[in-house]
Amino acid sequence: MSEPILGRLITAMVTPFDASGAVDPERAEQLAVRLVDEQRNDSVLVNGTTGEAPTTSDAEKCELIRVVKAAVGDRAKVIAGVGTFNTAHSVELAKASRDAGADALLTVTPYYSLPPQEALVAHFRTIASATDLPMVLYDIPHRAGRPIETPSLIALAEHPNIVGVKDAKNDIVASSQVMAATGLDYYAGDDAKLLPMLAVGAAGVVGTSTHFTGRRTAELIRAWLDGDHAKALAIHREMLPVYTGVFVTQGVMMVKAGLAHQGFDVGGLRSPMIWPTDEVVAGFTALLDSIVL
């Protein structure tokens, strides 16, 4: 299997905020370096759901791209989330992200308006054609309201700039069929689904718990690729409580609480997100303390 151009371990990075609630560029730089140099990420995704993209402005998104790219340099790729439910706005974000230094784009299915499949295909092709950057599709029907169906994914794979899929569809048979029919790099969009996805040909993961589990997850991926499936399974089972625990409530809430617990405060959350309850935080941080990360 050839190495995917965006690597195998990608974390959807939270966006640090300062005490006033503004984006904290210095802390964003530090977090990106932590993810790449300590947690072994091949790429860092900014301006995704875990980055609270629905509540950050276009200017803030571009600032994050600039500072994160400056921080990681050529040690990792920076992927920018540009998906919205407005094709024209997504195109604007794609171009602005390219100009800010992004190496690649992530585009989620247009949400709320429930476009039919032919409209989805046209939407993604338009965004992919707006720049020369590689683009990953984000297929997450339980949030977007629509799946990107198998024939649509196969058709979209023909576009030279569409290189992969962040797969949160939870339909491993459909995912396997697309991988068999195309050259798309598939990434598990649910941390706990990484190992079964690798078994049917996935490239890796776009993770949330990988703010904490990155090193061990990189070991899992390497063990699988090296044919040591028993080791990969053992790591999967060891990390599974954190892989699932980060989603006991909304992922960004748990990541920010977990980072604060580890002494790496990245600030609060923007409404409508709120800080998780003490009980929820205590349960998750106990997991972080009990597992070798």
Give yes or no for a contact between 112 and 145, defined as CB atoms under 8 angstroms apart.
yes
Q: Which of 77, 138, 187, 193 is catalytic?
A: 138
Rounded Cα distance between 288 and 293, Å, is: 8
Quick check: is 166 catalytic?
Answer: yes
* Residue of 61, 77, 166, 256 marked active site: 166
Distances (CA, A) of 46 to 38, 177, 288: 18, 29, 23
Euclidean distance between CA atoms 175 and 201, whole angstroms: 9
**Do residues 61 and 84 lie in contact, with contact meaning Cβ atoms separated by under 8 Å?**
no
In Å, the largest CA–CA distance within the chain is: 49
Q: Is 187 a catalytic residue?
A: no
Distance between CA 54 and CA 22 in Å, rounded?
A: 15
Task: Please give the positions annotated as active site.
Answer: 138, 166
